[in-house]
Amino acid sequence: MRVPMATSAASAVVTGLAEKKCHNVYREPHPNDPTRENVLIEAPGSLQRADFAGACRGMWQADGHASGNVLIAQGTTLSTFTPSGNSTGSLTGTIAGTDRGDFAFTETQGFGLFNGGLYVSTGTAIAAVADPQYATLLSDASATAFTSVDTLGQRGLFTYKNRFGFTAVLALDDVTALNYYTAESSPDDIIAGRVLGEFYYLLGSQTIEVWSQTGDSADPFAAQAGMTQQVGCACRDGIVKADNSLFFVDEAFNVRRLGQGGSPIVSEPWVSAALRSAGAANIIGKTYQDRGHIFVEYRTPSACMVFDVLTQEWHTRGTNLTATWRYTDIITAAGRVFVCDATGQFDELSRDYTSESMANTTTMGTEIVREFTAHLSGAPDSLPITTLRLESAKGVGVATGQGVDPIVRMRASTDGGNTWTNWRDRKLGAQGVYDQRTVWHRCGRTKLAGMVFQFQKSDPAPAAYLGVVVNEDL
């Protein structure tokens, strides 16, 4: 009898109901086997690349800026990482504050926002904008800080209160007191402005407006009639550009995908509840791609929830012995994925690395605990589970050290996960032992609630999971 594995995560709706776990694993279609249509793939590990002095406040990259180096805002420094040589440096000048920054690029300059103030980067240096007209724009709107930046048509765009301003073409430090527009459909404040394709989306607290270029240098932007949406945005840092779209957290803390005429909700209730519990100020959205998967991640201090655009399912990620995943930022550059955390640790993400933040390719880092569940429901009451077998990749042990003979643990619950049996260990197979059987005997009897099996693995040996089978000896 095959037991359905969880292919996504979901916390219990109420106490007494089982939760689904896909923690540090995610579903991938498995077309090679019609019986086993899905496989659970393990999330990647990471290798240390640099250690910066301050907490990461954001990462950005553009091929035509700063020689294509990754920009890392940490402390009051805008540091750089060169992928080709795995070397670090920094731009001349300092940035203010400790908040998360925002950054965008024109053909010749970088446009930054830190501590509510605007900055311009030449690629070698960064400095606060010097034009006093920026202060005039703020005071005219009774605002004290700018809230987001982006670029379109080689102009800088910046939001503040319920307005957005624009710079001269290829001159981010050149504005006038009249270089602004006011949101038209509603007096709600603008949370952030984001460019997607040829459109500038103003995501407000209650509405989304769409603007585009007019071609008129004196009046360069115009609102697009009929494209306004009556849905609000909770936070700037929850807006993610991915898969030629924008994902954002709405005013009710649902994750939505921007669409024409409407933005459908893609989050499940447990995700929305976790985001609401964290609060808008503690939500960070990020994205990266991996062999057909586009991951949109939402990290809070107590959870990291990941939406897979390929499968339309959610899973969770986390660092061992913490409530969430350590990494606050992700950037892709030169075909590689880099991550950074709140301490300034800068690592490279890859499935070639078997643990987290490894000092080198052979030295064990922090264990990655991987968990998933399988739920046997609809079985007769008091059905004896004489055997349980985990179908997985075998012979996956590493050559030396921890994981040379990797194990997986299993425990069971007959009351929806309120109480559990003790963990029981079984082998996944040392290197080359491809016929290893991973079987548990005498696993108890089902009850009316069925039986939930939970699996856990932390050894640094790559594996994948194909299915759970019970009572195949009968």
In the predicted structure, residue 474 carries a pLDDT above the cut 70: no
Query: At 278, is the secondary structure helix, strand, or coil?
Result: helix
Query: Can you read off the two tokens belonging to residue 361?
Result: 């390719």
350, 384, 417: which is the final residue of a domain?
A: 350
Beta bridge partners of 465: 40, 392
CA–CA distance, 69 with 123 (Å, rounded to integer): 9
Percentage with pLDDT > 70 across the chain: 100
Average of per-residue pLDDT across 201-225: 96
Q: 358 in a domain, yes or no?
A: no
Enclosing domain of residue 443: 2-43+369-470
Instruction: Give 242-251 pLDDT, tens digit per residue.
Output: 999 999 999 9
The candidate with the shortest Cα–Cα distance to 327, out of 277, 286, 380, 266, is: 286
Whether 214 and 200 have beta carbons less than 8 Å apart is answered as: no
CA–CA distance, 234 with 191 (Å, rounded to integer): 7
* 426/332 same-domain check: no
Q: What CATH number has the domain bearing residue 403?
A: 2.60.120.260
Percentage with pLDDT > 90 across the chain: 92
* 300/402 same-domain check: no
Q: 179 in a domain, yes or no?
A: yes
Average model confidence (pLDDT) for the chain? 96
Q: What CATH number has the domain bearing residue 180?
A: 2.130.10.10
Q: 360 in a domain, yes or no?
A: no
* 121/66 same-domain check: yes
> 449 falls in which pLDDT band (50, 70, 90)?
confident
Instruction: Give 27-68 pLDDT, tens digit per residue.
Output: 999 988 888 889 999 999 999 999 999 999 999 999 999 999
Q: 455: which residues sit within 8 A by CB, 6+ positions away?
A: 371, 372, 373, 374, 390, 408, 409, 410, 465
Whether 145 and 116 have beta carbons less than 8 Å apart is answered as: yes
* 129/168 same-domain check: yes
CA–CA distance, 374 with 356 (Å, rounded to integer): 26
> 12 falls in which pLDDT band (50, 70, 90)?
confident
Q: How many domains does the chain have?
A: 2
Q: 410 in a domain, yes or no?
A: yes
In the predicted structure, residue 473 carries a pLDDT above the cut 80: no
- pLDDT for residue 370: 98
Q: 246 in a domain, yes or no?
A: yes
- pLDDT for residue 386: 96
Please give the torsion angle defined by the CA atoms of residues 461, 462, 464 and 468, in that order, rounded to the nearest 10 degrees: 0
Please give the torsion angle defined by the CA atoms of residues 180, 99, 306 and 390, in that order, rounded to the nearest 10 degrees: 170
* 115/193 same-domain check: yes
Model confidence, pTM: 0.96
350, 379, 394: which is the final residue of a domain?
A: 350
In the predicted structure, residue 185 carries a pLDDT above the cut 80: no
